[in-house]
Amino acid sequence: MRRIILATLGLATLGLGACAGFPPSAEEMAKVPVVRYGTRAPTNGDYVLLYPAGAPLPVVASVGGTLLERPAQATLEVAVKRDVFVYRNWTSFDGKTWQAGGDAVGGAFEVILPGQPDGLAPGTMSARFDLKPDPKS
């Protein structure tokens, strides 16, 4: 009996995982409000976040910690080249066709300490966000 219960729970878990792998349908998305970045989101927490093309998007960069005597912070401003819709772990560029965020956008973060490699260079912190090629093209 215990094996049957464990097998049933295992199959249910796999089934839920498989459902999470499918993009949301147009019918599902029609019920979810779209919130433009800079506008307050609904309190229930279920919404699509739109980053409009060309709109200023502030990003706070900071360096701190117990090793440092003087921490620092700066606000950078970036803008996306095209509209980007984000819903949970899904991304869309038209608000209709959805794909896993990691299938649409890739990138890298890099930190280089001050003085690397020559003892003189300033430290750098960088983030890169790149569109991945559409596999259907």
**Mapped to the 3 state alphabet, what secondary structure does 12-53 carry?**
HHHHHHHHHCCCCCHHHHHCCCEEECCCCCCCCCCCEEEECC
Assigned domain for 17 exists:
no
Number of domains in the chain: 1
Tell whether pTM > 0.75: yes
pLDDT at 1 over 70: no
Assigned domain for 13 exists:
no
pLDDT at 86 over 60: yes
pLDDT at 15 over 90: no
Domain that holds residue 42: 23-131
Assigned domain for 7 exists:
no
Assigned domain for 3 exists:
no
Assigned domain for 96 exists:
yes
Both tokens assigned to 1: 């009996």
Assigned domain for 71 exists:
yes
Measured CA distances, 108 to 45, 97, 125, 128 (Å): 28, 25, 11, 5
Assigned domain for 64 exists:
yes
Assigned domain for 51 exists:
yes
